Amino acid sequence: MKPWMWIAASYFLGSIPWSYLIVRLLKGTDVRREGSGNVGATNVLRSAGKLAGVLALALDAGKGVLAVLVARRLGFAPAWIGAAAVAVVLGHVFPLFLGLRGGKGVATAAGALGTLAPWALAVSIALFVFMVWATRYVSLGSICAVAVFPVLLFAAHLSGWPATVAAPIVSAAAAVACLIVLKHAGNIRRLRAGTERRLGQPRAAA
């Protein structure tokens, strides 16, 4: 398979709207009309319960894992592996099957970037958990976690450890981080205004 073919396939893989499909199957409703309207695991959790939320999270992350693992198995160069990671997140954020209106890409990015650098994912998850525990803002935890990921990879690339962190991988992580932060623009505005909804907060009180 040519590298560009898998990049295109990664975009289509990312476009599979698991959150939409899970809520449609379990509740018969459109997740885009539930809760925050976001096509992502957090909104599935709020709209359809913990089991549905965990399932959506796992499947969305799985898309990212699969895109990177297959690119590696096919023996692609780091630049193409990084491109597959970016493509699968783009597919989730701008899904062909939902009129280019998808989720914010956090779970899919975690799957893709975590496969590229599991150690960096562990640090990012620890930061995410701490931020959500301290503030109850899932959005703030997500932003902090994704923002620190390329910083960790860049530091690793400069130090030469681990040797697998090539420059194209750092660039891919930075591109994904920028995309996700941009998708959280509305959350950032609400955080600054003090109107962002906290985890567990009833919607009527948001």
pLDDT (tens digit per residue) in 48-89: 888 999 999 999 999 999 999 999 999 999 999 999 999 999
What is the share, in percent, of the chain residues with pLDDT greater than 70?
97
> Considering its fold, how many domains does the chain have in total?
1
Indicate whether this model's pTM tops 0.85. yes
Give the whole-angstrom CA distance, residue 179 versus residue 206: 26
Mean pLDDT value across residues 17-38 = 89
> 175 is in which domain, residue-wise?
3-205
pLDDT band at 133 (very low <50, low <70, confident <90, very high): very high
Mean pLDDT value across residues 99-123 = 93
